[in-house]
Structure 1
Amino acid sequence: MRVHTRTLVFSGVMLVSVHAQGQWGRPAEQKLDPVVERIVKEATEGSQLERLAFELLDVVGPRLVGTPQMNKANEWAVKTFQSWGIPAENQQFGEWRGWERGISHIDMTYPRLKTLAGTQLAWSPSTKGKAIEGEVVILPTFTNQQDFEKWLPQVKGKYVMVSMYQPTGRPDHNWEQYARPASFERMKKERDSLIRVFDDNIRATGLSANSLPGRLEDAGALGVLSSFWSREFGANKIFGARTQRVPSVDISLEDYGLLYRLAKNGITPKVKIETSSKDLGNVPSFNTIAQIKGTELPDEYVILSAHLDSWEGGSGATDNGTGTLAMMEVARVLKTVFPNPKRTILIGLWGSEEQGLNGSRAFVLDNPAIVEKTQAVFNLDNGTGRVENINGSGFVHAYDFIGRWLQAVPNGITRDIKTTFPGSPGGGGSDHASFVAAGVPAFMLSSLSWGYFNNTWHTNLDTYDKLVFDDLRDNVILTAVMAYKAAQEDKLVDRERRVLPDGQNGEAGQWPAIRQPRRTGVGY
């Protein structure tokens, strides 16, 4: 099969220069569909994004799978949909280890008193409300596993630091702006050397970075101290604990460095830690599913996709509060201005995406009739920015139908969007991949970064104040118009898949396989 890969750039210049027609024959002077005009008006003048963001991010907060906050988010979403006249329900797809966050008090008590910036990792065991004090030790240099085993008894009754010491707390862009080039290069070489030495030292233990905390716990450590710096001022990644009985806490780069330098220089610091999280046993996990029922083809679907769950460091604002808020607002706008689509518009707010797309993978396996008759899936899950890229996900004819739908979107929304056709199927980065694996035309609406990966992705800084509502409103208009056009197509689009190159021996590559979800689990 001959595969054409085209990269198209929607730009104001390309659309209007020499009065030529734009892509897919779109005239330079755009006349909007009356429904599209109503979508734009409702999405701008009647926007409820700010209210929804307040309710989800400030009131409900972070939405770690297995926590009461995740359940509150599911319940809030259902009630909100229902208040708009959109039927919705929570559909259980599995269960997860239940956990409820409590307070985290982390204080250095020697050689001076200082409250440290830090927090429990997700699913961390607690101190059961007691403040437990102990000395802090760092990992010495090991030559081999026997050397590690000989040292191991020394951790009993102590807190152990398990992360690499960072030579600088300034992000690279700050160095690049202000440092002399020689200083910048020297810092990077020092950091690279420290990384190699640290990694070699972990390997010498015979363990991995993930299994080390459990071994320290078994040897009697009071707790595990880590610092997963995100290479931005004040940002740390906050993931899950690797211990089962003693607390695991993440400490800010600045305070972690303080403890490390003290311990390294022979002044053994002491910390006192008090945490009060609760283990709730196994609890149900849900997807929230809402539907605007189709009038002519109710058993055919257009799916608006976003994951509702988040990690626990901040409030899950850009991962993926923004996708959730935008897709809910799209549903509200369409219900208001176009309540009777030809096909059913289904909104899927998935659970446990962060642990491996579990909610959407379960939905695909549990709903074969819906999967068979899904026109398209539009997925939002990459921060607060306006959409800048749409990849054809490997579907040969995506150029045609995505082109028709984009043609109806206002020029001001599409002018900076780059498209790649037929593109390549997503392998698992977000929930659209669950549908692509099943042969459903599913597309990630990829957005501008706004410093996403270092600043807010899974960090303690992923909070309401990082939202850019102007960009979110653009995304609502774009998605609502594309969903409207997809719902009104005369027939289901062609699902023909491209032949994927292998890149090694010239044989055809393999389309991503449907993967089983984890329907029960703990932590990662």
Structure 2
Amino acid sequence: MKTRSKFLLTAFLFIGYAATSQTVTQALAKINTEGFQKSQVMNLITDLSDLYGPRLTGTDQYYTAAEWAKKTMENWGMDKVYFEKYCDDCMGWEVKSFNVEMTEPAYMKIQAYPYAWTEPSNGVQIGDLVWIESYADMELVKKQWSGKLKGKTILMGSAPKQNMLFEPLSKRYTEHQIKKAKKSISPTPDNALNSNAGDIDTIEDLEVIFEKYKRKDDVFFAFLKTEGALGILGATPLFPGVIHPSGTYNYRESDVKPMPYFAIAPENFGKLKRLIDREITPKIKFNLDAELYLKPENSVNILAEITGSDPKLKDEVVMIGAHFDSWHSASGATDNGAGSAVMMEVMRIIKASGLKPKRTIRMALWGGEEQGEIGSLAYAKNHYGKVKETTRKKEVEKISAYLNMDNGAGQMRGIYLQGNEAVRPIFQQMLEPYAYLDVNTLTIENTNFTDHEVFDFYKIPGFQIIQDPLNYNTVTHHTNLDVLEYVPERDMMVNATVIAALVYQIAQEDLRLPREE
């Protein structure tokens, strides 16, 4: 009798396991069919890039794109799509036209783009160019330049070093890098994959760092205005000819706006500096027609939900997200139109597959990430509690996990575990069906400076997706070349399909994912 009972129990457990396994397999098959054979992700990124980019924080362009995303997801039949405001004093800023030229000693068209939130030039301005290497010591700058800058344009910073482009501009992670990341035993010191591994323990630290960074130029800008300077030219050493107008950060209504400030191509910077070194004074002609305005209604996070089907678990949430805002000099395709399109496609795949996840799946497209994660942080403060208070709202305990995508358009290679060792075996099992796509690298390492760390701060399991870098850091990140041509279709399809499968499986778990110790 005992033997037969053991046999029946074993058979029952086996049948139960097989049925569960078969259910998961069937669900993943539906996800794969929808994600690989019926993909819409490139349609989404094409619209988001070519029709609804750029999406600078606070602008009409951002809000128009947000309305498109909301309407698109409503048309897919999402159970809920809505906006939440995150900023009342974020200024909109848009360029109408601009031009930068050298007229003496010979004509040269200067490849340039204005930094955001700078003042218009009030017509064409013409003046001699002078070079100021650094303003780290403002007392020294004032001593050297007081009374000498009226009517002048400033060439600001060091000349970019010569670059013969022997190194490739686009890369995938090597097998060595992936193995090193897998073997890492510490979240921060020696990150094999990402230079953004940091030791930021709290969001207060992050807010202090961002605020200090935002205000780093203010004293120098004020001095130049007082002295009667006309404008500023600067460069970032991205070759060949890449323009990098990331910033400024004077986006709040109360911030003093800088004078016209242009990022220029490094090769143009090099020539101008060499002329000055030879005591030949370039004459610069420029104009900037730009508009500053305040419309608080433009600053919204976009949220969409698929309501959970389990009566006991539907109040719990699996969250995914990406930042929706971009810089202004291109269409924001890789930063972060790609992440936004992927997360929208994840929601479409799950809905179109007819699957009924036990938990609610909520997607967020964040605004203001480029200004210090102000969109996701405002959401967290509203839903989870104030940063500096120890008490937390009950909603914190309802979130099983948050997955974020914000490292360009490269293929997913795995997940940064953000120091949470307890989730490793869970993710290993969930990603195993996709091992053939090389997406199952798990590293204890963390990465900072994007929206997942807000959730990590609130002790919600928050994770960033590992992605092949491609040309993100060499060509497209915050540059005038952040365009659709650098978004590979296969990578986008893999990302959306694998994340959809991962999110669905998390939503089906009996328990929420374990918190970091």
Query: Could you state the TM-score of these two structures normalised by the residue count of structure 2?
Result: 0.78
Deviating beyond 4 angstroms after TM superposition, the runs of 4 or more aligned structure 1 residues are: 140-144, 207-210
Check conservation: 2:133, 2:158, Cα contact below 8 A: no
- How many Å apart are 1:82 and its aligned residue? 0.8
Kindly state the Cα deviation for residue 483 of structure 1 after the two structures are TM-superposed: 0.7
Match of 1:483 among 503, 507, 517: 503
Distance 1:105 1:147 in 2: 28
1:94-493 correspondence runs (5 A): 94-95=87-88, 96-128=90-122, 130-139=123-132, 145=139, 148-171=142-165, 173=167, 211-230=219-238, 232-241=239-248, 244=257, 246-281=259-294, 283-284=296-297, 285-296=299-310, 297-368=313-384, 369-407=394-432, 409-413=433-437, 415=438, 417-420=440-443, 423=444, 426=447, 428-493=448-513
Q: Which residue is equivalent to 1:79?
A: 71
Given that 2:161 and 2:237 are in contact with CA atoms closer than 8 Å, whether structure 1 keeps it comes out as no
Q: Is the 8 A contact 2:430 2:505 kept in 1?
A: yes
Q: Percent of counterpart pairs with the same letter? A: 31
- Does the CA-based 8 Å contact 2:434-2:440 persist in structure 1? no
Letter in 2 for 1:385: G
Match of 2:31 among 39, 42, 51: 39
The alpha-carbon deviation at position 355 of structure 1 amounts to 1.4
Any gaps of 5 or more consecutive residues in structure 1?
Answer: 1-24, 176-206, 499-524
Structure 1 CA distance for aligned equivalents of residues 410 and 367 of structure 2: 23
Distance 1:34 1:385, change over 3 A: same
- Partner SS for 2:100: strand
| Deviations 1:344-375, CA, capped at 9 Å, x for gaps | 11001011111111111121221134432111
CA shift, 1:273, in A, is 0.9
User: Could you report, residue by residue, the CA deviation over 1:409-454 in whole angstroms, capped at 9, with x for unpaired residues?
Assistant: 33323x353212xx2565x421111111111112111101103212
Secondary structure of 2:513 counterpart: coil
Matches within 5 A, 1:49-60: 49-60=41-52
Range 143-152 or range 486-495, more displaced? 143-152
DSSP-derived class of the 1:137 partner: strand
1:61 paired residue among 19, 33, 53: 53
Amino acid in the other structure paired with 1:348: A
Q: Secondary structure at the match of 1:349?
A: strand
In the aligned structure 1, how far is the partner of 2:258 from the partner of 2:27? 58
Q: How far 1:150 moved relative to its partner?
A: 4.4
Q: How big is the shift at 1:339?
A: 4.5
Residue 446 of structure 1 aligns with an amino acid whose one-letter code is I
**Distance in 2 (alpha carbons) for counterparts of 1:141 and 1:291:** 49
The 2-side partners of 1:209 and 1:275 are apart by: 20
Q: Secondary structure at the match of 1:346?
A: strand
Q: How many residues align?
A: 432
Q: For 2:134 and 2:316, locate their aligned partners in 1 and report how far apart those are by CA, in whole Å.
A: 61
CA offset at residue 247 of structure 1? 0.5
TM-aligned CA deviation for residue 140 of structure 1: 7.4
How big is the shift at 1:314? 2.0
Q: 1:464 to 1:146 in 2, by over 3 A?
A: closer
Letter in 2 for 1:89: Y
Contact 1:134 1:222 (8 Å CA) reproduced? yes
Amino acid paired to 1:484: Y
The answer to whether the 8 A contact 1:35-1:338 is kept is no
Q: Residue 434 of structure 1 aligns to a residue in which SS?
A: helix
What amino acid is aligned across from residue 414 of structure 2 in structure 1? N
Is the Cα contact below 8 Å between 1:364 and 1:371 reproduced in 2?
A: no
Inter-partner Cα distance in structure 1 for 2:82 and 2:128? 50
Q: Secondary structure at the match of 1:94?
A: coil
Question: Which residue of 1 is the match for residue 86 of structure 2?
Answer: 93
Paired AA for residue 150 in structure 2: K
Which residue identity lines up with residue 239 of structure 1 in the other structure? S
CA shift, 1:213, in A, is 3.3
Structure 1 residue identity aligned to 2:59: T
The residue aligned with 2:209 is none
1:52, 1:131 → 2: CA distance? 40
Q: Is the 8 A contact 1:380 1:444 kept in 2?
A: yes
- Cα 1:492–1:147 change in 2 (3 A) is closer
Alpha-carbon offset, residue 396 of structure 1: 3.9
Q: Verify the 8 A CA contact 1:435 1:442 in the aligned structure 2.
A: yes
Unpaired segments ≥5 residues, structure 2: 1-16, 170-214, 251-255, 385-393
Deviation at 1:269, TM superposition (A): 1.4
Q: 1:281 to 1:149 in 2, by over 3 A?
A: farther
Alpha carbons 1:308, 1:349 under 8 Å: kept: yes
Q: C-alpha separation between the residues in 2 aligned to 1:89 and 1:489?
A: 27
CA RMSD of aligned residues (A): 2.6
Look up the SS of the partner of 1:450 in the other structure.
coil
Distance in structure 2 (CA, Å) of the matches to 1:358 and 1:487: 27
State the distance in 1 between where 2:471 and 2:101 align.
31
Cα distance change of structure 1 residues 377 and 288 upon mapping to structure 2, 3 Å threshold: same
Cα offset, 1:455, TM superposition: 1.7
- What secondary structure is seen at the aligned counterpart in 1 of 2:316? strand
Work out whether residues 98 and 283 of structure 1, in 8 Å CA contact, stay in contact via their aligned partners in 2. no
Mapped to 2, the partners of 1:360 and 1:388 lie a distance apart of 25
C-alpha contact (below 8 Å) 2:402/2:462 kept by paired residues: yes
Q: Secondary structure of 1:33's match?
A: helix
